[in-house]
Structure 1
Amino acid sequence: MKKTMQIGRTVVGLCLAASAVAFAAAPADAARNTTAVAAMKARLAAKVPVTGIARAGNALIAVGDYGTIVRSTDEGKTWQQAEVPVSALLTAVHFVDDERGWAVGHGGVILVTSDGGANWQLQTTLDEKPVLLSVHFTDAQRGYAVGAYGVAFVTADGGRNWAPMAVGSGHDADLHLNHVFATREGALFLAAETGVAFRSTDRGGHWTKLATGVSGSLWSGLERSNGEVVLLGMSGRVIASRDGGNTWQVRETGTEQSLTSAIALPNGGMIIVGAGGVVLRGNGDGPMQLEIRPDRQNLAAVMAAPTGAVVVAGQLGVERLAPAR
């Protein structure tokens, strides 16, 4: 357990793109306690290290350390702390509609909400208390949770029961699975370590290792509005596929900082964030505009409100992103 916690903290630290973001390894007893103690209410809850953001209707929901979940209904201008029954490090959050969402984190915790993220319940704690790094539901019943050392689980009943899911084999069976997402056509993709990515076209029943042609961890991915699949990761790497993951092309970014999260824009472009305050903006297939935020904080997540306002999150919490100059 202690080794798992140490590796999990390393993974999350790198997802925040930072050796400087020091999530200290927790002993096994402390790890167990965090699943039994509710998150402490804090006046500056929106300023704790944040690892993930999702949208629930008109609301933005951010999760982070100490079991913190904050919610904004005014495009990220102000944030309110949600009721959360655990104090574990939360790593990812996903909503399937305006009300129903799930969050995952350390200790194998899976939280669920049915009121748009204002209140959360501990739905389950997975056996062996794995470090979970990503969660994605394709509908209200079927969902996926993945994490460190190749752990992967699937549910077909809205998260009430979870079954192990085999992804990699041999050496690949122990790779950290950093992010799971689905395309509009129903294909599932997994971004993993050492340049490895996986794809499933049968709802997670079977997974194919993809030849990305790159090395170094891949931290995240998404599908653009034109159907192109994009993966991003260490060393400023962005790779894109227009044939469902069969072949990949490297996109120039102008940075060697780790890239951790991205959103697709309605105009076909993207916003990508990463370490050292990196923000990349693009409106298509051409060069992306590189910005370095003055605070140089390591960014872990980005999300857009329905109005188009963009929120970024990382080691200094959540805040609105200034419009492009």
Structure 2
Amino acid sequence: MQKTRLLMTLTIVVALLASACSKSKAPGEWAQLDTGTGDAFYSVNFVDENVGWLNGQTDRSFMPYEENENGNANKNAKPKKPDEKTEDPLKANQGFEVLQTTDGGLTWQQIKDQFKHKIRSVWFVDQQLGWALTIDRDILNTTDGGQNWTLQRKAGTVKLKLFGNRKQPEMDQPEQIDRIYFIDARHGWAWGGGRKDQYAEQPGTFLITVDGGQRWDAVAYPFEQNVSDIFFLDKDHAWASLDGSFYKTGDGGLNWSKIQTKLPEDVFRSVFFLDENNGWVVGRTGRIAKTTDGGRTWVKMYRIKDQYKMRDIFFADRDRGWAVGEGGAILYTPDGGESWLDVSSPTPAGFLDVLFISPTSGWAVGLAGAVLKYQPHDRS
């Protein structure tokens, strides 16, 4: 009798463990959307369930499949990984493409402006009001959903320092603004640059507006290198993640304080905060960590198998969150990050960004034209 009870107990434990690791336990599935392009999409922005935008780069070198002798993607081949020496898998010298949908992703159209600027990326706060960053780092504004654009700010220049070049120790270079983001109709930020190696030092640029872009103020670049991610909770509070560093601001980006953490430096790839205290970070070696005190202390919670680089993390509410990364990696947590489920992906392409506008409406985008839409099992 005792052996029978022990056997039953072991059977139940094994069943529970298998259930916890099962991909079928996820509350929904990810369906692949067709954009008609194989571009690498690094950012997704939806303002409701129907209207959204994709920011991407036209770069075939980051197709996640090996190519056959005819130059076509071999879908049965092992997915390729981005260059391990490059933290950002997107090259700045490639072409850019911005797509828009008004039907939840069933169809997509390319965003252009009447002045034929080559748009690098866009960010909208509603269906009509948005901003664009051109490849020349100019900032444009639209109030009609992208039909017409006006120039708000012409890109400036910075001094590029050249090491070991006595004849030309420095030279003028356009501001290297890579990202633009607005939290509402008035408060926005644009930033980029800040790289340094043995050959040159490129100053970073950090811009702030509090009037919808009518005026952009440049503040001293607050980071010692190029920032991996900045998450803005509201017009005042934001957190920035770099390799080995973590920063926080409480005054809209005017001043930043560096936070010392005990986490490995490869953790801080992407950051997300639900409120002023509760936040999560993901990193290059598959680590996920959580804070409950605004970033002062962190608890290591998870490490994905195969040590795939994780690229982004997003929480729809206090419990339900998603993390995405290389090799088609999609993770889901139903309990605030205490446990994570490995979710099936319809593509092995690496993911770079994930966004949810509600617990049941989300998108993930990445390399080789990968655009996924979340579909919950229970639609009631």
**Contact preservation (8 Å) 1:130, 1:151:** yes
Q: Which residue is 1:19 aligned to?
A: none
- SS at structure 1 position matched to 2:228: strand
Partner of 2:238: 188
**Alignment match, 2:144:** 115
CA gap of 1:155–1:116, structure 2 versus 1, over 3 A, is: same
Of 113, 116, 130, which residue of structure 1 is paired with 2:175? 130
Q: TM-score, normalised by structure 2?
A: 0.64
The size of the alignment, in residue pairs, is 276
Paired residue for 2:186?
Answer: 141
- CA, structure 1 residues 320+110, in 2 after alignment: closer, same or farther (shift >3 Å)? same
Question: Structure 1 counterpart of 2:48, which letter?
Answer: G
The RMSD of aligned alpha carbons is: 2.9
One of 53, 59, 75 as aligned partner of 2:44:
53
- TM-score of the aligned structures, taking structure 1 as reference length: 0.73
Provide the C-alpha distance between the structure 2 equivalents of 1:97 and 1:212, rounded to a whole number of angstroms.
37
Structure 1 contact 53–63 (Cα < 8 Å) conserved: yes
Tell whether 2:207 aligns with 1:153: yes
Greater length-normalized contact order (CA 8 Å, ≥ 6 residues apart): 2
Partner residue of 2:97 out of 43, 68, 73: 68
Contact preservation (8 Å) 2:241, 2:247: yes
Aligned to 1:205: 254
Secondary structure of 1:216's counterpart equals: helix
1:177 equivalenced with 2:227 (yes/no): yes
**Structural mapping, 1:245-256, within 5 Å:** 245-255=295-305, 256=307
Tell me the CA shift for residue 297 of structure 1: 0.8
Which AA in structure 2 matches 1:282? T
CA distance in 1, matches of 2:251, 2:129: 24
Find the partner of 1:164 among 215, 218, 239: 218
- Is the Cα contact below 8 Å between 1:133 and 1:179 reproduced in 2? no
Structure 1 residues 101 and 292: CA distance shift in structure 2, 3 A = same
Choose between structure 1 and 2: higher helix proportion. 1
Q: Check 1:262–1:111 CA distance in 2 against 1; reply closer, same or farther (3 A cut).
A: farther
Amino acid paired to 1:50: F
Q: CA–CA distance in 2 between the matches of 1:101 and 1:219? A: 26
Structure 1 gap ranges (5+): 1-42
CA contact (8 A) 1:179 1:220 kept: yes
**2:156 aligned partner, one-letter code:** D
Match of 2:347 among 281, 295, 311: 295
How far has the Cα of 1:218 moved from its partner? 2.9
Q: 1:195 to 1:324 in 2, by over 3 A?
A: farther
1:81 to 110, 114, 128: 110
**Residue 185 to residue 64, structure 1, CA distance change in 2 (3 Å):** closer
1:113 and 1:75 mapped to 2: Cα distance? 21
